[in-house]
Amino acid sequence: MSRRAAITAAALSAMVAMAGCSPKAGGAAEGDMALGAAEGAKVTVVEYASVTCGHCAVWNQEVWPEFKAKYVDTNKVRFIFREFPTPPQDIAAAGFMLARCAGNDKYFDVVHAIMASQQEWAAGVPPRQSLNRIAQGAGMSAAEIETCLNDKDALAALEKRIRAGIEKGVSGTPAFYVNDQKIVDSSLSSLSAAVDAELAK
C-alpha cells in the first residue's frame, strides 16, 4: 500500500479509539451504497461492515443470501451498506476504494468477493494479491488499480464516511440498525423479527 494508505490506517485506528455515542445510525448519508427499496422506504436496514472483518464475512456467507432473497430482492426494505474498515485498515481501505472504482453496478460483487478472499489470506495468500485479482476480474487494469488506490479525494471521502459512522456510535463490525434501532443479534431470526415488526406498523 502507499505511504498515504499507511498514514490513513493510523488515522483510522485513532478514529475508532475515539468512537462517540450518538444513538442514530440510519437515514440517508453521503456515499451510501444501497440495494432494494427506494430511499424513503418504510424500513431501512443499515449494515456497517469491513471487508477485513471475519464476522462480517461469515454473516455475508451464511445470512446475507437468505436475508437478501426475503427482504431486498422483494423491495420490502432498503438495505444500506456503510464502510467501516477494521484491521488491517490499509487493506480494508484499499478494498473499499477498489469496490467503488469498479462501479456502482459491481460494488457489492467486489465487496463480497473480498470478504470471501479472507480464506485465501489465512492460507498465506497476500491480501494485495487477492485485491488485484478481484479488481481485475471486475474489469480494472493494473494502471486503473494503481490510480484508484492513490486517489486522494476518494480516500478523503472514505475517511469522512468513517468519521460519520463513529459519530453515530459505531465501534465495531458488523453493526446492524433497523430504522435506527440497533440490533445486537445479527442472526436472520433476530433481524427478521425487527424488520417484520417495522413492516407491520
Model confidence pLDDT, tens digit, residues 129-163: 999 999 999 999 999 999 999 999 999 999 999 99
Please name the helix (run of DSSP H) or strand (run of DSSP E) that holds residue 159, with its range, or none: helix 152-167
Give the pLDDT score at 12: 53
Please name the helix (run of DSSP H) or strand (run of DSSP E) that holds residue 83, with its range, or none: strand 78-83
pLDDT greater than 80 at residue 6? no
Model confidence pLDDT, tens digit, residues 63-103: 999 999 999 999 999 999 999 999 999 999 999 999 999 99
In this prediction, residues 122-135 reach a mean pLDDT of 96
pTM score: 0.86
User: Which residue is it, cell 498465506?
Assistant: 124
Give the three cell numbers for residue 125.
495468500
Q: For the CA atoms of 46, 98, 173, 80, what is the dihedral angle to 10 degrees? A: 0
Print burial letters for 60-75: b (CB count within 10 Å at least 16), e (below 16): beebbeebbebbbeee
Place 31 in a pLDDT band, splitting at 50, 70 and 90.
confident
| CB-based burial label for 133 (10 Å; 0-12, 13-18, 19+) | middle
Give the pLDDT score at 30: 73
